[in-house]
Structure formats: C-alpha cells, structure tokens
Amino acid sequence: MGNEYFYADDSIGIIGGAEAGAVGILGAFVLVYMVIMLFALAYAITTYVLYSLGLYTIAQRRRISKPWLAWIPVGNLWLLGSISDQYQHMAKGKVTGRRKILLGLSVATVVIYFVWLFSMILGIVLAEASGMAAAGSVLIMLLGLLVFFGIVITLAVFEYICYYDLYCSCDPNNGALFLVLSIIFSGIMPFFVFACRKKDKGMPRPQQPAPVAEMPVKTAEPEEVIIETEGEFENEQEEPVADA
C-alpha cells in the first residue's frame, strides 16, 4: 500500500509540474505577443504622423485647398489626388480628376464591404431556415467579395499612380525608384512622403514677365539762332540816296 501512495504522489507532482510549465509558456507567449502589438501600434502611429505631416506640408506649400485633410482617413486620398491633378496640369498641361476617382473608389470600397458583411451574416441566419435562401445569400456574398477585391485593386492602382506623380513633382530623378520601393515595401512609403515634403524639383517654375523696354526719351533740339554781323546790319539800315 505504501508503494501505491508513493507512485500516486509522484504522478500528481509530474502533472502539476507540466501544468506549471504550460502556464509559464503561455505567459511568455502572451508577453511576447503584447510586446509585438505595442511595437506595431507605435510603428503605425509613427508612420501615420509622418505621412500626414508630409502630405500636409506639400499641399500647404503648393497652396492646395484644405491641407488639413491629410490628417483624416479618406480625406487624405482626396488630397493625394489633388496633388497629382495639380502636377499633371502644371507640368504636362493635362486636366485629370484623380482626386474624384480616389474618393469614389474609397467610398465604394466601404459600401461593398458592409454589403458583403451583411450578406455573410444573412447567409448564416438563413442557413437553418431555408437551404435555397442560404444558397442565394452565399452567392451574393461571393459576388460581393469579387467586386470588393476588384475595387480594392483598382483603388491601389490609382493610388500608386498618384504617388508616382507626387514623387516626380518632388524629386523626378528618384520618382521611379521611390514608387517601386513603395510597392514592394509599403511600410516605408510614409518615410518617402515625409522626406519629399519640402522638394519641388519637378514642378515647373512660374514664368517671370519679360522686362518692359524703356523708350528712349527724345530731347528737344535747340532752336537755331541767327546772329547777324554788325556789317550786315548796317547794310540793311543804309538805303541808297537818289541824286538830286
């Protein structure tokens, strides 16, 4: 009997040690996760501030209306499109409406997302009520998902087009390089926008008016003065005397 109790105590100790080890591993995992999340949050705030400040400075220096939109989501897309439209107009003489395109696509993205979310919830609810209704809801959900991804891809394409115009307007020699790096490493794009905030190398300089040529002032010529000699004056005064 004593040996049985001895083995039971050992098994309890082993189980308790395993539970303590599992709790320690779980605690370490939670700690690492929290550190990663804090780091990600700090990075997100930093990049948001740098991006907004860079966009705001560019818009303010180029006298684009409402530069404070740089700090508002969706509003910053309107401002980005305005910078692109200004560059196209001043540098290439083209009239584009990319600010309207970006705004419309961003609004459509939000609307399609909520429609997709609603159709997914509706499909789950109707799954128990009617198989036909559930199938229709799933079909709508799949179509909405395809439309959603299509709009998101289109929005991303126009965003990168506008970023290319922004880079070229600030630093045309490195515009293509900045764009490629922004596509591959999207996390460093805010740093490029912030670094370009005070550059206008690609913007055409306003033409200075040509100086007006001064007309030469014509001075009045002095009047000719006829000076008669004394002899000539006497000859004019003397008249011939007729002989008596």
Q: Cα angle vertex 126, ends 124, 129, to 5°?
A: 130
Angle between helices 75-92 and 98-126 (to 10 degrees): 150
Residue of higher predicted confidence among 28 and 188 = 188
Number of domains in the chain: 1
Q: Is residue 39 part of a domain?
A: yes
Rounded to 10 degrees, the C-alpha dihedral 129/131/134/139 comes to: -170
Q: Is pLDDT at 11 greater than 90 in this prediction?
A: no
pLDDT tens figures, 171-228: 999 999 999 999 999 889 999 999 999 999 988 876 555 555 555 555 555 555 444 4
Structure token pair of residue 60: 């303010």
Q: Are 89 and 77 in contact (CB under 8 A)?
A: no
What mean pLDDT comes out for the span 154-170?
A: 95
Q: Which residue has the higher pLDDT, 85 or 227?
A: 85
Domain of 61? Answer: 8-195
Residue 214 lies in a domain: no
**Residue 129's pLDDT is what?**
61
Q: What is the pLDDT of residue 241?
A: 47
Residue 37 lies in a domain: yes
CA–CA distance, 148 with 102 (Å, rounded to integer): 15
Reading the block at residue 89, the tokens are: 């107009």
Tens digit of each residue's pLDDT (9 = 90 or more) over 128-147:
666 555 666 677 777 878 88
Return the pLDDT at 19. Answer: 63
Let me know if residue 25 belongs to a domain: yes
DSSP 71-89: GSTTHHHHHHHHHHHHHHH
Q: With a cut of 90, say whether residue 81 has pLDDT above it.
A: yes
Give residue 26's pLDDT: 75
Flag whether pLDDT at 13 surpasses 60.
no
196, 156, 162, 159: which is closest to 84 by C-alpha?
Answer: 162
Name the token pair of 217.
Answer: 């002032």
Q: Could you give phi then psi for residue 63, rounded to 5 degrees?
A: 60, 40
Whether 4 shows a pLDDT value over 80: the answer reads: no
Look at residue 168 and tell me whether its pLDDT is greater than 60: yes
- Let me know if residue 93 belongs to a domain: yes
What's the whole-number mean pLDDT along residues 35-39? 91
pLDDT of residue 227: 45
Domain-located, residue 221: no
pLDDT band for position 170 (50/70/90)? very high
Q: Does residue 47 surpass a pLDDT of 80?
A: yes
Q: What is the pLDDT of residues 100-123, one digit of tens each?
A: 999 999 999 988 888 878 777 776
Look at residue 92 and tell me whether its pLDDT is greater than 60.
yes
Per-residue CA distances from 29 to 16, 24, 26, 41, 119 (Å): 20, 9, 5, 18, 36
Q: Is 178 domain-assigned?
A: yes
| Confidence category of residue 6, pLDDT binned at 50, 70, 90 | very low
20 vs 103, residue with greater confidence: 103
- Give a yes or no: residue 236 inside a domain: no
Give the whole-angstrom CA distance, residue 44 versus residue 226. Answer: 97
